[in-house]
Chain A
C-alpha cells in the first residue's frame, strides 16, 4: 500500500500567517491527491482535488501544489475558522490511503 506521510503533525499559527503543510507519498502518484479539512466534531470537507484544483466555494486563500511524491497545502492568510485537521488522500492506487493529518491551532 502507498504510505502517505504528512508533516508537521500539528502546528500553531496566528491569524494572518501563511501556513504550509506537506504530504509525501511512498511512491509516485502523479497528481492523484486531494486535501480535506475536518473541523472538530464535523465531517471532512473537500478543499483541493487533483493536487491543485480548488473545489468550488472554497476560499482562495487555500491552494495546493505538487506532483509525484511531494505535495503542499498552503493557507495564504490564516483565519480563525481554519482551525481544523487537514488530511491528504491518494487515489492513485488501491487501497486509497490518507495521511495521518496535520492539526492547525490558532
Chain B
C-alpha cells in the first residue's frame, strides 16, 4: 500500500546530540513537509520541500535541518541548537505544485524526548 513511513516511533536525545528522524513516501508526491506538534499548539511547520534538491524554512526552522536528495525521502535532523526538542513530529506529503486543493498525507509520527 502507498503511504508515508516515519521511523523511529520513539526517539530519545541526549544533551548536545543531533538526532535524525526518517520520513519515506511511496506516493510519488513532489511536496513533503515536517511539522512539530505540541499540546495546545496544533501543527507548526518546520521545513517543506516542493521538489528534489530544494527546501524552504517554515515557521519554526531554527535548530532543525533537512535534506531532499531523493523524491521519496525527507529526513529531519534535530540539532543540539534546538533547546526544547521534546515534541511529536509529523511528516507529510502532497502532490505539490500550485494546486491549492491537495490534501496532505501524514505518517504515524515520531515522539522525541530528552534523556
Asked whether A and B interact, the reply is: no
